[in-house]
Structure 1
């Protein structure tokens, strides 16, 4: 009787309990809502970038209202793009927390920690976007070649040891779970730090692709979906390292073409 009750109360390695399936559904629902909210918040100018032929209106100085709106939209975008990728990690953590009888709120804190890590990159992303705005005002050829340089640099980053090191951790979140799971079990502060740690690996892996997104069109659902697909291929599908190299080669190739023929940017846009 005891073993039967235990088997009903726990999940094997290849099975998900009802609670874990519900958690996965909740995360995916939040993802869908974030995509819809991104679409509703996106102004026409925010769907374009220096790789898509935009000429934004100049703005002087640092505007807190604009920065606050950017941070809000950045957080929503990161929720839309990154939440599906951490679903297996979150389910694994919820299983560990349940076995150790830790507070159920720790799972929420874990996800918030992950998103907090991405939110903290918002200042760098905003600065990058303002630089791109200035380049766009300098002329279409300058903007196009700057966007091409972004593609080349992002492609080169795909071949660096830092990229591959972070990618290994992103592809194996259970390694992080086994190494730091006890910290999350002990306290909600620990869960927050574990979530931030996993977010830091993802930032190290994906930051160059995010710069490409800013150059292509920050809130364009098409470009968001494209970058999300690239990130998913790297993190989930087999042969992640080879996929990363192929993506890098493609970025470098397109970037070199645009450096030679910057007029293609205006044609495509």
Structure 2
């Protein structure tokens, strides 16, 4: 190796194992958003119709749960991974301080993802059941004002519950969350990832139900919901969003009957 090559090798930044974990996280987020955008709008220059979303939702009435699960899994990647980035960053900081390992980081993210894949399965089953009952359009949007109003009331009312507050408090203070559960090893990190996923699910499940109001295929709803759920978990800004959002949702509940 020449002196020049050796000097360049020393100066160029090296991506460690945790760096590849972060690349994987952001790649999964991009994959999720790319998948839902392509499915909803089609692929430029390719014969992939935008109606593929409708075919996926139409599959709900035909009991094609596999297609629905794929759709919900992409939604979960796109919407929920960004909300967990502050917690992942906190664990990575602890890892760099010597408290954790790269294997633990991978296990943490895996545990979190497993919980939300189960959540994606629950969403797929719910959409299948509602579609078979004739309550959803081919785009996954409620056809019943009673269902729409009920979802708005549930999501709005949940914003005021102690369970929501308890879950949000853990999401907003990830360092405290990890310190309360910390044990060495990848298995313990996997368990913390599962716990983090459960807490996150506790924060967001009711808001995710609003997919059946805005339409599971609506990119505008997915974007707004992702931003809101991300901001709501921030310790400063989030405290000013939770209850006002609940008031807005409850006040909107009568609108399906008059619009």
- TM-score, normalization by structure 1: 0.74
Root-mean-square deviation (Å): 3.1
Q: Does 1:202 align with 2:200?
A: yes
User: Aligned partners of 2:31 and 2:74: how far apart in 1?
Assistant: 9
Q: Which residue of 1 aligns with 2:189?
A: 191
Number of the residue aligned with 1:8: none
- 1:167 counterpart residue number: 168
The residue aligned with 1:6 is none
2: CA distance, partners of 1:180 / 1:194: 7
Partner of residue 33 from structure 1, selected from 31, 34, 52 = 31
Name the CA shift for 1:228/1:137 in 2 (closer, same or farther; >3 Å): closer
**CA distance in 2 between partners of 1:57 and 1:68 (Å):** 9
Q: Check whether the contact 1:154–1:209 (CA below 8 A) recurs between aligned residues.
A: yes
Alignment of 1:118 onto 2:116: yes
- Structure 1 residue 92 displacement after superposition: 2.0
Contact 2:135–2:144, Cα closer than 8 Å, also in 1? yes
Scaled by the length of structure 2, what TM-score is found?
A: 0.77
Distance 1:204 1:67, change over 3 A: same
In structure 2, the gaps of 5 or more residues are 1-14, 41-49
Aligned to 1:95: 93
Q: Residues 167-204 of structure 1: CA distance to partner in whole angstroms, max 9, x if unpaired? A: 1111111111112232xx32x22211111100100101
Q: How does 1:14-163 map to 2 (within 5 A)?
A: 24=22, 27-42=25-40, 44=51, 46=53, 59-60=61-62, 63=63, 66-100=64-98, 102-133=100-131, 134-136=133-135, 143-163=144-164
Distance 1:129 1:95, change over 3 A: same
CA change 1:47–1:162 in 2 (3 A) is farther
Distance 1:105 1:125 in 2: 30
Unpaired segments of 5 or more residues in structure 1?
A: 1-17, 49-54, 265-269
| Residues 1:102 and 1:142: Cα distance change in structure 2 (over 3 Å) | closer
Tell me: CA distance 1:143–1:35, structure 2 relative to 1, closer, same or farther (3 Å): same
Contact 2:32 / 2:75 at 8 angstroms: preserved in 1? yes
Q: Is the 1:75–1:115 Cα contact (8 Å) retained in structure 2?
A: no
- Which has a greater percent of helix? 1
For residues 25 and 90 of structure 2, the distance between their equivalents in structure 1, rounded to whole angstroms, comes to 14
In structure 2, C-alpha distance between the alignment counterparts of 1:137 and 1:110, rounded to whole Å: 36
Matched pairs, number: 231
